Structure 1
Amino acid sequence: MSEAKWYVVHTYSGYENKVKANIDKTIENRHLEDQILEVRVPLEEVTELRNGVEKAVQRKMFPGYVMIHMIMNDDTWYVVRNTRGVTGFVGPGSKPVPLDESEMENLGINKEDVIMDLAVGDVVTVLSGAWEGTVGAVQTINEQKKSLTINVELFGRETPVELGFSEVKKMD
């Protein structure tokens, strides 16, 4: 089996978070956690001036694109390519081309990049995605995948949701 690489997927504009949520759900349903490791919508913090007040906001670095850390094979290609909102992989023709090391450094994607000082039981706020603004206690932490699980209330019951370290912020 080949090693996981970062690929870029083109989406309909404004659908980035929806595509991320759909792929995350498909990974869970088809048990592809060991093949599709991470789905990211890169965000940057910018300061906007509104009504004379400076406010820090999260803005998409690459509108219309989602980054996926995955092992490319027929199954993973099919799952990603046939996700609603995805128009295709970035690359010539139908052949997805992974990002190389220099491109990943320029984009700030380094595995050592995300270091979390979180423990099970800590309370976090979700910064992006379908659960943006949700507050929850950390249930599990997966250092290898750089992810954690929190419980959110869905239809009146607690449901576990897996999130990347970059998607959450520890509450003070």
Structure 2
Amino acid sequence: MSKQWFVVYCKSREECRAQQNLQNQGIHSFFPKIRKEKIIRGKKDTVEEALFPSYLFIFVDQADASFSKIRSTRGINDFVKFGREIARVSEKIIKQLENACHSINDFEADTQLLFKSGDKVEIKSGSFKGLTAIFEAQDGLERSMLLLNILNQENKISFCNKEIKKAES
């Protein structure tokens, strides 16, 4: 039988420890994480968080793997099961998760670099869809402050970063 992906349930906030201990045993694992901006002690900082808290995907051969050894690995509680059957995940789903994590993390990491003060941006959704504005500054975790000309008057309005894109020159 060939290698397959399985899901293990980890102890709370010990996914990284479990992953390290599995790696020490020569077991390949995948722990999907995403980067988020948070305010920590009054400062905006980028942190990595678990996409599926307390869950880890492992890639083992069911015939060769010592499931009791994996279960007793520090940081792991048990395998995820449906009845008596250990949960399996297809290779396709794991690849999709990896791709999604990479694209989300790249997008969030580049948000600060994407717009500079004075850049022209276009609003993609909402009641101001299609209008152009001037990017002024980041406004918190996931928002930006824009200067929008409404009735010949410059107005500062906060928009979600996902609602704006760089205007084509």
Give the TM-score of the pair, scaled to structure 2: 0.50
- Equivalent residue for 1:23? 22
2: distance between equivalents of 1:99 and 1:90?
A: 11
Closer/same/farther in 2, CA of residues 40 and 52 from structure 1, 3 Å limit: same
Structure 1 residue 90 and structure 2 residue 89: aligned? no
Asked whether the 8 Å contact 1:44–1:61 carries over to 2, the reply is yes
Closer/same/farther in 2, CA of residues 15 and 50 from structure 1, 3 Å limit: closer
Give the helix-richer structure, 1 or 2: 2
RMSD between superposed Cα atoms in Å: 2.7
Structure 1 residue 57 and structure 2 residue 79: aligned? no
Amino acid at match of 1:54: K
Alignment deviations for residues 1-57 of structure 1 (CA, whole Å, 9 cap, x no partner): x22221110011011111112222223xxxxxxxx3x21221111111345543221
Structure 1 residue 48 and structure 2 residue 38: aligned? yes
Shift of 1:89: 1.1
Amino acid at match of 1:5: Q
Identity percentage of aligned residues: 24
Q: Which runs of 5+ in 2 are unaligned?
A: 103-169
- The structure that has the greater radius of gyration is 2
Q: Which runs of 5+ in 1 are unaligned?
A: 28-35, 114-172
Q: How many residues get paired?
A: 102
1: distance between equivalents of 2:7 and 2:99?
A: 12
- Equivalent residue for 1:75? 65
2: distance between equivalents of 1:94 and 1:25?
A: 28
